[in-house]
Amino acid sequence: MSVLTDEPVAADASALIETDILIIGAGPSGLYGAYCAGFRGLSVAVMDVLPQLGGQISAMYPEKPIFDIAGFTSVRGRDLVDNLVAQAEEHGTRYLLGHRAVELSYDAEGLPVVRSDQGQTVRAGAVVITGGVGTFTPRPLPAGEDFLGRGQVYFVPDPAAHAGHDVVVVGGGDSAFDWAALLAPLARSVRLVHRTARFRAHRASVEKVQALGIELITDCEVSGLTGAARLEEVEIRHRVTKDARRLPAQTVVAALGFVADLGPLRQWGLTLQARRIAVDSRMATNLPRVFAAGDITAYPGKVRLISVGFGEAATAVNNAATVIDPEAALFPGHSTEKEN
C-alpha cells in the first residue's frame, strides 16, 4: 500500500502518477472497484480526502453492524472495510489519502488529468468517481467548538479511547443512538441529550438504548462546556423552562448530522441531479472517460445501498476498461476461472 498523506508530493513533473484507472473515493464502492480493476490486470490508484480508508463507514460507524451485505447476516463496519482493503490489495492498489480531487483537465491525447489539493497530479486512462455523498462536514455543536480535541468529538473510531469516561451524546438520529449503545459497556456513564422528545433514530435503536439503562434527556440543549486542560462538565438547559443542569463529562459526542457537498466536483462540468452525478446504464457520466458509482450517482430507479454500489462499481470499471482498450472484452471472466 502506498499512502501519500504524510509527505504530499509537490506539483511538478516528477509528481505525476500514471495509472489505468483513478478511483476518487475510498469507501466500499471505491475499494471494490479497485479490486475489479486489479482483477482484470489494470493499474489503479484510489484518492480520498479522508486520512483513512472506508469512507463514511470508517469515519462515522466503524463498530456498527451492517445488515444489507449479501452473504452476511451481519458484518461490523470495521470488518467490512478491512476485508475490502485486503481484497483490493491482492492486485496492488496505490492510495492517495488526505488528497481532495480539485481539478479535472484533459491532455493532448484526451486522457483525464486530475490534480489534488496537495499538488498531486494523476493521469489516468479513465476516472471512476465513488465519492458517496461527497465531502461531508459534521454539523457543529455551538457550545462545544472550543473543546474539539479536548473532549468533544464528532465520531468514535476507537471506542476504547473513551473507556471509563462520563459520556454525553448529543443528537436524536441513528448515529447518536449507535454511539450511545456502543460506548455503554466501556464508559462509566452514558447520557443522551436531544432537543425534542421525538427521535429520528430507528425504533429498534431507541429501544436498545433504553434497554441498556441509558438516560435519555429530552427537550434540552447543551448550553455550555467547561474544563481546564480538558472537558470536565457539560451544562444542559431545558428549552421551555430554561432550567439548567450540570453533568460530569470527559467526552461529548456531537451526533447532529452532517452537511454533504460535492465540493470542487461541481466545477468539472458534470451533469448533476439534486447534488448527485447523472450516469447512464454503463455508469458513464457526460464527460469523456469519467464514470461514477455508488451513492453519488443518480439515474431512474436508483436504490442507495452498499450492495448496489458494489454492482455499480463493477459495471463502471469494466466499461472503463473497454474505453481504455477498445479491444478488451467487457466481461472480465469469472474469478473461479483465474489461477490463484
- 206 SS3 class: helix
Computed from CA positions of residues 181, 172, 250, 66, in that sequence, does the dihedral angle turn out positive or negative? positive
Ramachandran angles phi, psi of 58, nearest 5°: -70, -35
Ramachandran angles phi, psi of 8, nearest 5°: -55, 145
- Please give the DSSP secondary-structure letter assigned to residue 205: H
101 labelled ligand-binding: yes
* Cβ–Cβ < 8 Å for 215, 166: no
Query: Buried b / exposed e across 27-58, counting CB within 10 Å, b at 16+?
Result: bbbbbbbbbbbbbbebbbbbbbbbebbbbbbb
291 labelled ligand-binding: no
48 labelled ligand-binding: yes
136 labelled ligand-binding: yes
Q: Residue 280 CB: number of other CB atoms within 10 A?
A: 11
d(CA 4, CA 17): 12
- CA distances in angstroms from 139 to 200, 202, 257, listed in the order given: 16, 20, 6
Strands 251-254 and 166-170: parallel
67 labelled ligand-binding: no
295 labelled ligand-binding: yes
56 labelled ligand-binding: yes
C-alpha cell at 315: 459495471
146 labelled ligand-binding: no
Annotated binding site: 29, 48, 56, 61, 101, 136, 295, 336
Annotated binding site for FAD: 29, 48, 56, 61, 101, 136, 295, 336
